[in-house]
Amino acid sequence: MIEKEKKIRVVIGLGNPGDKYIRNRHNIGFRVLDVLSEKLNVFWKTSDLMDLTEAIIDEARVLLIKPLTYMNNSGKIIPFLLKKGIKSEEILVVHDELEKKFANLSIKLGGSARGHNGLRSIIDVLGKDFWRLRFGIGRPESLSVSDYVLSNFSQDEEIQVPELIEKSVELILKNS
């Protein structure tokens, strides 16, 4: 749970732009932000670097961002936030997490990239002390990690994904 005096001012959902990636495990951050934006009735504006919108959550303005830089370059959006005076502890990044079993959700502050290139890109620019909503996808049994994260959820998993996205949105709303 995020301490109430540490308000979240930005929620970043990690993913890759383009239709071919929509249902990929690596795109769960985009999917969560899409549902969050629908629930808050806000609409995306697109620039070269990101899809961006602003919402009111618990009487506070919060930016919602989907980087359009592809996963490995997600950190390219951070200078935009730093120019706005946003501090690392005011940022929540929604991402897939190999180190958690599928369907396991958690929020934590800080940590390493653990091989996640999107997180590594953000850490390289911002440092590691930002909030993360970790959406467990589990480790692959037979595929390489890169093939696994760029593949779609299994049919059984995809049935559960909408409910897990809703739980993720609830966590964001409760902790913002």
Q: Is the sign of the CA dihedral 116, 118, 123, 125 positive or negative?
A: positive
CB-count burial class (<10 Å; 0-12, 13-18, 19+) for 109: middle
Q: Is 95 a catalytic residue?
A: no
Tens digit of pLDDT for each residue in 18-57? 999 999 999 999 999 999 999 999 999 999 999 999 999 9
Q: 2 lies in a domain? A: no
- The pLDDT score that the predictor gives to residue 1 is 58
Q: 55 lies in a domain? A: yes
Q: What is the mean pLDDT of residues 45-74?
A: 96
Q: 1 lies in a domain? A: no
- The pLDDT score that the predictor gives to residue 120 is 98
Question: Could you give the CA distance from residue 167 to residue 32 in angstroms, rounded to a whole number?
Answer: 9
- The pLDDT score that the predictor gives to residue 43 is 97
Domains: count for the chain:
1
Q: Any bridge partners for residue 56, and if so which?
A: 61
Q: 45 lies in a domain? A: yes
- The pLDDT score that the predictor gives to residue 130 is 97
Q: 4 lies in a domain? A: no
Q: 33 lies in a domain? A: yes
Q: 83 lies in a domain? A: yes
CATH number, domain at 32? 3.40.50.1470
- The pLDDT score that the predictor gives to residue 6 is 62
Full domain range(s) for residue 50: 10-175
Which residue in 26, 66, 76, 132 is the catalytic one?
Answer: 26
157: tokens are: 């998993």
Tens digit of pLDDT for each residue in 94-152? 999 999 999 999 999 999 999 999 999 999 999 999 999 999 999 998 889 999 999 99
Residue bearing the bigger pLDDT, 4 or 159: 159
Its pTM stands at 0.96
Element (H, E) at 151: none
Tens digit of pLDDT for each residue in 78-99? 999 999 999 999 999 999 999 9
135: DSSP letter: E
Pairing of strands 60-67, 50-57: antiparallel
Residues 62 and 91 sit within 8 Å (Cβ to Cβ) = no
Q: Band the pLDDT of 154: cuts 50, 70, 90.
A: very high
- The pLDDT score that the predictor gives to residue 176 is 86
- The pLDDT score that the predictor gives to residue 2 is 60
The b-or-e profile of 124-134 (16+ CB within 10 A means b, else e) is eebeeebbbbb
Task: Give the residue ranges of DSSP H helices in the chain.
Answer: 28-40, 78-83, 117-126, 145-149, 155-175
Q: 5 lies in a domain? A: no
